[in-house]
Amino acid sequence: EVQLVQSGAEVKKPGESLKISCKGSGYTFSTYWISWVRQMPGKGLEWMGIIYPGDSDTKYSPSFEGQVTMSVDKSISTAYLQWSSLKASDTAMYYCARHGRDGITGHVVYMDVWGKGTTVTVSS
Amino acid sequence: DIQMTQSPSSLSASIGDRVTITCRASQDISNKLAWYQQRPGKVPNLLMYAASTLQSGVPSRFSGSGSGTDFTLTISSLQPEDVATYYCQKYNNNPWTFGQGTEVEIK
């Protein structure tokens, strides 16, 4: 079974650092792009960025560039999302999701597998 | 960047009603559009891709249409389990922008 297993809920203080994880299984992790998606309380889905585990090629949404860092360790099939200094406004649910590939062109397409999400709460 | 605009933001309909949600792209995205369903408190789930191709396991009462800039998601006969927020997403290129969502409730 293809799945993405995310790390558990986090409660942090403003200014603290954090790294959350997303471990893939049931497929060749290094050959499928992974996106991170933010959902603030009561709000919609926001695409944050995408990373290719094969070579760590990363593209950030302009809204999140410089605010977070995406990385992978393909040896353990795990993608990461990290903050160096959290703010209260980072309080949200964070999902990782795998992108499929177009069978003909090989282009990155929609998100076909989602992790269950990691809740991040930042509060003093 | 291409903007994705959904309408309405919310709707209330009766069981068995036909429900239509619209998604508009600010530029041509061909048919590179996906729809996701997010039930309350749950993980988003892929409903449809390539604007009109149903993901495996999704009930046939869901259908999609459109190309270019204008797209629709239709539920032919609304069921209680369809209470959810529905999001469109473009995937023709970076960024993979979502629409703001349409919340569907039962009247």
Res. B11: pLDDT tops 90: yes
Res. A106: pLDDT tops 90: no
Res. B75: pLDDT tops 90: yes
Question: Does A42 reach chain B within 8 Å, measured CB to CB?
Answer: no
Res. A87: pLDDT tops 90: yes
Rounded mean pLDDT of chain A?
96
CA proximity to A112, closest of B96, B78, B7:
B96
Interface of A with B in 61-120 (CB under 8 A): 61-62, 95, 97, 99-100, 108-112, 114-117
The pLDDT of residue A107: 85
Where are the strands (E) in chain B, listed by range? 4-7, 10-13, 19-25, 33-38, 45-49, 53-54, 62-67, 70-75, 84-90, 102-106
Q: pLDDT, tens digit, for every residue of A64-80?
A: 999 999 999 999 999 99
B contacts of A109 (beta carbons < 8 Å): 32, 34, 49, 91
Distance from A109 to chain B by nearest Cα, in Å?
6
